[in-house]
Amino acid sequence: MTRKNIFQYICPLLTFFGIWMFLWLMCPQYLLYHEQNQLFLFSGSYFTDSISVPGGMADYLSEFIVQFYYVPLYGAMLTAFVLTLSQVFSGLAFRRCDIAKTAFPLSAIAPLLYTGAMSDENILLSFAVAMALTTLFIYLATLPGNLSTLTCSITLITGFVILYWIAGPIAIAFVIAAAILHRRPKAVAICIPVAFIIVSAIHYTLFEQYPLSRMLKGLNYYRVPEIYPSILFVITGVISLLPLISLVKARPHRLLAYASEATVAIFAVIYIPLSFDKPKSDILAYDSLVRQQRWHDIIEKAQKENPTDLFSLQAVNLALGITGQLTEAMFRYNQNGVEGLIGKDRLDNTTQLVTAEALYHLGLTNIAFSTTFDLQESIMNDRKSGRLMKRMAECMIINGNYKVAAKYIGILRNSLFYAGWARRAETLLENDSAVNAHPVYGQLRRNAFCKEAFYDHTQIHKILAMLALGNGGNNYLAWQYFCAASMLGGDLATLIGIYNSSPGQYSKMPIPRHVQEAIAMYWTFSHPTFEGVPFPLSQDVKQQTAALAQAVMKNKNNPAAWQKAAPGTYGLYFINKSYYGNQPEPSIKYQPTHE
Amino acid sequence: MKTYLYIFIFAILASCSKERPPHMAPSADSPDIFPDYTDVTIPAGIAPMNFNISGAGQVYVKVTGGIEGEMESFGEWADFNEKEWHLLTERNIGADLTFDVSVKDKNGHWKRYAPFVMHVSDIPLKDYGIVYRKIAPGYQTFSKTGIYQRELSSFEETAVLEETAVEGKCLNCHYSNRGRNDQFTLHIRGKNGGTILNSGSNLTYLNTKTPETAGNATYGYWHPDGRYIAFSVNKIVQNFYLDKEHNIEPWDVVSDIVVYDSETNRIITSPLVATPRCETTPAFSPDGKKIFFCLADSVSMPGDYRQLKYSLCSIDFDVKTESFGTRIDTLICADSIGKSISLPRPSYDGRFLMYNMTDHGTSPIHHADADLWIMDLSTGESRCLTEVNSDFSDAYHNWSPGGGWFLFNSKRRDGMYGNLYFSCIGTDGKATKPFMLPQRNPEQYYDEALHSFNAPDFITDKINLDMPHIRSMVKNNEIVNVSVKK
């Protein structure tokens, strides 16, 4: 096997396995995020809706693939395959030029750039599919051999129209690249204005409801309509201009081959990992763990690195709550107010995800439904979400609104990964006894808030108290959240008042460690010693609280000393908050939203 | 584009499935059709009243006119040929259409059902179509939303203005002058938001918020002369219920009534309708001399939300002096009925006033108990339209400019997603059984639809907007400030 042949086989294989492993092992959370922002349906209307816009076939194919992101191993493999295809077609397109064959590894630049660009979770796979289709068209355009300028122009315009419809405006790269490969620069000068006129005509006649700029930038390459990241222009430029290497009149040279290999290697090793920023990856990772209900993994992750943003904190607190440790261990982590438990309204499709999960598990089904509904509606490219629609259906089943549940279940039945759940859920419709007997839905139905009242985030601890104490007081998660919200909000009077008067069956349980710390802290406000405290506080809590009080008195401006005296305690949180207020939230670029 | 694709696909499917049932006597069972079109009254020329039968493999329907003519449909559902359908309904005005339905189940067995009828009304519905907003019945965010128009005689739906045209903006209700396609307003919310006013000759983008008024123009109603528009200016907030029986409670922090003069670009106010109380949802009487509206005393919100009850009131308006009357007439007092009234809509012939009644509040689409009521304006007597109401919200009604027909939004199918229904009031003052907006494949359409039809109205002709102009106005914020008449 000659060197060039080796390159032609090895390079695509390396690209394929490299991207596959990277996506699967290093960033499955990105794949899951994409998957939960669309809902591919095997239905005629979904297909016709998709392909009735420019680039629609690429959207359809990409959304077909993205549904497999539900299982990141498969999703990563299919994505790697699509990206490798664009490399293979690029390579095949300039197969006749010796120098180009030597520089074959450069054909991996566009796929690798795209892989790095995936760090922007709003760049859609549709662009990658459009890339593959474009490179296929470039390759097909090279098959006829030598063409005159006129024939070349006609071929390119015909190809452009077809490709524009199936893949979108990246089709312009086909025109440029194919003209270069045919060495017909005049064809570019003819075809680009004609292409613009064609796009304008399509816009004017069929798509007046979109701005022309979107017809030129692509309707669904990026999830947020008003934005078009420059990296997509760069990749389009690379695909367009890479064939320029076919014009180099140099003989194949081993040095050039090594140079091209080195370029690609540097790209792969440095550029891609550096593209992914850690805070965002962590947020998406926490969300994916919550989605998969991997509560112990969440706690393990937080133990390795204390979360700093509210979103991750909500995930950790939810995991602690579900595993029954919230009021025992929450202050080991950087707590930051009640929003670290349940977020206020932020109308985007990321930051309320964990809040929606917490509301659901707590039994605030109505609010969980409305939050989830809004999350789905805030998907910026107007897609629906399998994850969220399933949750909406669950809420409707719990609420006994079976007709709305049936609507969502009917839609989910046309999906691949939610169809099994939908079939099982269908048996619950109009069947109250089956729902009541269901281990999750039945319990959440029994936990439901029954009193006619409004949701008010500023009074969340009181709502949680009613939830915990209502329905026979069998909602320990709500009880933990009530205690936590009271402590985080500083309303110790309400917490101790309820503990003192009517904690229902929770009075039979030992007072959790952090609640003891809160009681101890509250007691020290008005008492010099712990003598006479009406709750059974552990000696350790008393000592730690006293030590903290002393540390604060002695070192008023030295938080490190406070930390040393009572690490991981409510007292420390309370003192820090009293002196410095809530910690500023780290700067995170939240998703834009429809409002 | 989608339309052509559908036609192509349907044409292929239709050509594959023409099978007549064997001769057999009809059973006593009625077919379980969706939508329930049995015994409804329809206008001649309406789009084919296609329907589905649950679990059917093949459906054969023979329609026979009470006066003359017949037609057939074969397929997975009853899908009538548009031309034949129109001809049949036109030939049978004032008579019945009898539907003889046979169904082949999945095992290949045919069953013939007892026939049912639809009545073709002799009251014409001559409007081109209807206009409505499609929006997910959500809470604080929305995905794709838009104002659409739908031809009544066919299934053709076209966008008037979609959110994609003015990206990131929420499109609010469209209000036209008696269904005119060239006189309407619609609101755009969000950054660079405003009100698009098509006054017949001009397209203007208005900032209706002034220092002297409480908020942006919200609910609107045109004066019949096409110059004035009554608006309520509202600041709306919503509360979300915790219990499963309820959902959202929108309410007005402030709401007043103003009249906008499109010629002078000024707002006319009156201290009588700009008070600390809540005045909302105005509607001019057909002669333009009076404004009907709803009025509630201020209560402590959100705590006393159940005490928020609106009365039905009216106030004179004189176009010559451009002034409101000097007193408010209370037509129905909320205290006396213990209910809340909203959305008064007089019929254009001046016979009736249709309105909503709920236990409390101002947003009937969010109240399952919202019912349509009708007042005979000659006697002042009101009655509940029991013949059209359901157990769920029935609201957002509007009259056809031609009279008789009205449409409304109802959540009767599932309690959440609002769909459109039509009914007609005859000379006896009774409303006919309402029918759901026809769709080519109704079951598929309504099952898959994740939007509500919001704020529907009739339109006499198709609306054509100058999209580049609108985009430019919104994008460049080419907004005209409205002032208050001193």
**B384 and B401 share a domain?**
yes
Instruction: Say whether both B342 and B420 belong to one domain.
Output: yes
Does residue B471 belong to the interface with chain A, where contact is any CB pair within 8 Å?
Answer: yes
Give the three-state DSSP class for A589. Answer: coil
Residue B8 lies in a domain: no
Task: State the smallest CA–CA distance between residue A4 and chain B in angstroms.
Answer: 47
CA distance B192 to B174: 18
Same domain, B354 and B398: yes
Residue A463: pLDDT band with limits 50, 70, 90: very high
pLDDT at A100: 66
Test A401 with B247 for CB contact under 8 angstroms.
Answer: no
pLDDT in tens, A306-332: 998 889 999 999 999 999 999 999 999
Q: Given the structure tokens 């206009």, which residue do they identify?
A: B131
Task: Please name the residue of chain A whose CA is at the shortest distance from the CA of residue B446.
Answer: A407
Contacts of A272 (CB under 8 A, 6+ apart): A22, A112, A115, A116
Chain A within 8 Å of B242 (Cβ-Cβ)?
A: yes
B416 located within any domain: yes
Are B302 and A214 inside 8 Å of each other by CB?
Answer: no
Find chain B residues with C-beta within 8 A of A383's C-beta: 143
B330: domain CATH number is: 2.120.10.30
| Residues of chain B with confidence (pLDDT) below 70 | 1-18, 168
Q: How confident is the model at residue A488 (pLDDT cuts 50, 70, 90)?
A: very high
Residues A18-46 have a mean pLDDT of: 96
Last residue of a domain, one of B120, B142, B174: B120
How many interface pairs between A and B have CB atoms less than 8 angstroms apart?
137
Between A27 and B106, the higher pLDDT residue:
A27
- Domain CATH for B62: 2.60.40
Global pTM value: 0.93
Domain shared by B87 and B167, yes or no: no
B158 and B291 belong to one structural domain? yes
Q: Do A52 and B5 touch (CB under 8 A)?
A: yes
pLDDT of residue A528: 85
Q: Say if residue B63 is in the same domain as residue B93.
A: yes
Q: Cβ contact (<8 Å) for B450 and A384?
A: yes
What is the per-residue pLDDT for B169?
75
B240, β-bridge pairs: B248
Tell me whether B34 touches chain A (CB under 8 Å).
Answer: no
Measured between alpha carbons, how far is A193 from A199 in angstroms, rounded to an integer?
Answer: 10
- Which chain B residues are within 8 Å of A464, Cβ to Cβ? none
pLDDT band at residue A433 using 50, 70 and 90 as cut-offs: very high
Q: Residue B42: inside a domain, yes or no?
A: yes
Residues 419-438 of chain B with CB under 8 A from chain A are: none
**What is the distance between the alpha carbons of residues A58 and B216, in angstroms, rounded to a whole number?**
42
Angle at A452 between CA A449 and CA A454, to 5 degrees: 90
Position A168, amino acid? G
| Option in B2, B240, B450 nearest A49 (CB) | B2
Domain annotation covers residue B282: yes
The pLDDT, as a whole number, for residue B332 is 97
**Distance, in angstroms, between B359 CA and closest chain A CA?**
15
pLDDT at A584: 57
pLDDT at position A503 is 65
Q: Name the maximum alpha-carbon separation found in chain B.
A: 78
Q: Which positions ≥6 away from A19 have C-beta within 8 Å? A: A76, A79, A80, A83, A84, A111, A112, A115
Going by pLDDT thresholds of 50, 70 and 90, the confidence category of residue A351 is confident
Token look-up 């290497």 returns A245
- Summarize pLDDT for A175-199 with one digit per residue, the tens: 999 999 998 989 999 999 999 999 9
Interface of B with A in 357-396 (CB under 8 A): none
Could you tell me the pLDDT band of residue A585, with boundaries at 50, 70 and 90? Answer: low
Higher pLDDT residue, A417 or A268? A417
B434 and B394 part of one domain: yes
**What's the pLDDT band for A246 if we cut at 50, 70, 90?**
confident
Same domain? B25 vs B169: no
Closest chain B C-alpha to A79 CA, distance in angstroms: 27
CA atoms of A477 and A491, how far apart (whole Å): 19
Please check whether residue B2 lies inside any domain of the structure: no
Phi-psi region of A521 (alpha: psi -120 to 50; beta: other; left: phi over 0): alpha
**Record: contact A373-B138, CB cut-off 8 A:** yes
Count of domains in chain B?
A: 2
Calculated CA dihedral for residues A190, A191, A193, A199, nearest 10 degrees: 160
Within this chain, do residues B201 and B58 fall inside the same structural domain, yes or no?
no
Helix (H) or strand (E) holding B420: strand B419-424
Quote the distance between the C-alpha of residue B276 and its chain's center: 30
Residues B154 and B257 in one domain: yes
Instruction: Specify whether B109 is located in the same domain as B136.
Output: no
In this predicted structure, the answer to whether residue A141 has a pLDDT above a threshold of 50 is yes
Share of chain A above pLDDT 90, in %: 67
- The answer to whether residue B225 sits within a structural domain is yes
A194 Cβ neighbours under 8 A, 6+ residues apart: A153, A157
Sign of the C-alpha dihedral, residues B210, B214, B216, B219? Answer: negative
Task: Answer yes or no: do B287 and B340 share one domain.
Answer: yes
Domain range enclosing B83: 18-120
Q: Is the pLDDT of residue A53 over 70?
A: yes
Residue B459 resides in a domain: yes
Cα distance between residue A378 and residue A397, in whole Å: 23
Mean predicted confidence (pLDDT) in A557-575: 89
Q: Given pLDDT bands bounded at 50, 70 and 90, which one contains residue A1?
A: very low
Query: Which of B91, B120, B149 is the last residue in one of the domains?
Result: B120
> By CB neighbour count within 10 A (0-12 exposed, 13-18 middle, 19+ buried), where does B113 fall?
buried
Pick the last residue of a domain from B120, B153, B179: B120
pLDDT in tens, A212-227: 999 999 999 999 988 8
State whether residue B255 is helix, strand or coil: strand
**Is B143 inside a domain boundary?**
yes
